[in-house]
Amino acid sequence: MTTRVWIVLVALVGAATAEEPRKPSGYLGVRIGPLDAQTRATFGIPEKVEEGVVILDAVPDTPAAKAGFRQGDVLVTFAGAPVRGPDELIALVRDRSPGDEVAYVVRRGDGTIDGRLTLGTAPDAPPMAIEERLDRVQRDIEELERRLRKGPRTIAQWIEAEARKAEEARERGDRDAVRRAETRIELLKEIEAEGVRGQMDRIERKLDRILERLGER
């Protein structure tokens, strides 16, 4: 993952895919990036800081902001576990609940900061009418059909493109767009694994189950 693809933890933590039941999860409130050559140069991070994730921004009035996280800080441990990359931090926060108190270690310049913070609750996305959700899923079905017939893009290339869309949606805080992109990725991975193209009856059955779950919310 490159620095250009920023992960917005505010959008990821606490979100669920269209296939999963919702459950409360922790919320930190930061934009993060990988510790790589670009972030080292941008924020002047010393080479002796070997691993962690770079804080690109702390959302105001969130646990991260209240803890004093700054742009260019490197979060190296969280809840007692080492943080080697963005995905690990996301998992660590997601596995905890609002109100949980966790310890952290941040490297700032040549210094080290130990602290504790209390995780919050991720803000809800604006409610969306079930009719609008169903309309969007139907449009996704039609788009799947059109693209699978058209080609010649490979399934792997399409999955990569959908993954980029999901990351962009996370940056915008658009949970619904993230869920839709992840649903398309899941379907495409099934098609790729089976070596099948154009078997839309199976895809439609899969999406029928998604529609049923959406109707339960």
pLDDT given at position 51:
92
- Is residue 83 a part of any domain in this protein? yes
- Is residue 56 a part of any domain in this protein? yes
pLDDT given at position 104:
97
| Residue 59 sits in the same domain as residue 80 | yes
- Is residue 193 a part of any domain in this protein? yes
Of 101, 121, 141, at which residue does a domain stop?
121
Q: What is the CATH number of the domain that holds 53?
A: 2.30.42.10
| Residue 59 sits in the same domain as residue 136 | no
3-state DSSP of 194-211? HCCCCCHHHHHHHHHHHH
- Is residue 1 a part of any domain in this protein? no
- Is residue 2 a part of any domain in this protein? no
Mapping DSSP to helix (H, G, I), strand (E, B) and coil, where does residue 151 land?
coil
pLDDT given at position 29:
92
- Is residue 38 a part of any domain in this protein? yes
Tens place of pLDDT per residue across the chain (217 aa)? 343 333 334 333 333 333 344 567 889 999 898 998 889 988 999 999 999 999 998 989 999 999 999 999 999 999 999 998 888 898 899 889 999 999 999 999 989 999 999 999 887 655 555 556 666 666 666 666 666 666 545 667 778 888 888 898 888 888 878 888 888 788 777 766 655 444 555 566 666 666 666 554 4
pLDDT given at position 117:
96
pTM of this prediction exceeds 0.75: no
- Is residue 39 a part of any domain in this protein? yes
| Residue 208 sits in the same domain as residue 135 | yes
pLDDT given at position 15:
37
pLDDT given at position 25:
83
| Residue 83 sits in the same domain as residue 142 | no
| Residue 12 sits in the same domain as residue 92 | yes
Of 121, 145, 166, at which residue does a domain stop?
121
| Residue 116 sits in the same domain as residue 150 | no
* Listed residue (4, 6, 5, 11) closest to 170, CA to CA: 11
| Residue 75 sits in the same domain as residue 143 | no
Please say whether the beta carbons of 89 and 119 come within 8 A: no
CB proximity list for 128: less than 8 A, separation 6 or greater: 176
Quickly list DSSP for 34-101.
E-SHHHHHHHT--TT--S-EEEEEE-TTSHHHHTT--TT-EEEEETTEE--SHHHHHHHHHTS-TT-E
| Residue 87 sits in the same domain as residue 110 | yes
| Residue 113 sits in the same domain as residue 209 | no
Please say whether the beta carbons of 11 and 41 come within 8 A: no
| Residue 14 sits in the same domain as residue 107 | yes
Return the structure tokens found at 126: 């604006």
Of 121, 146, 171, at which residue does a domain stop?
121
Domain that holds residue 190: 130-215
The total number of structural domains in the chain stands at 2
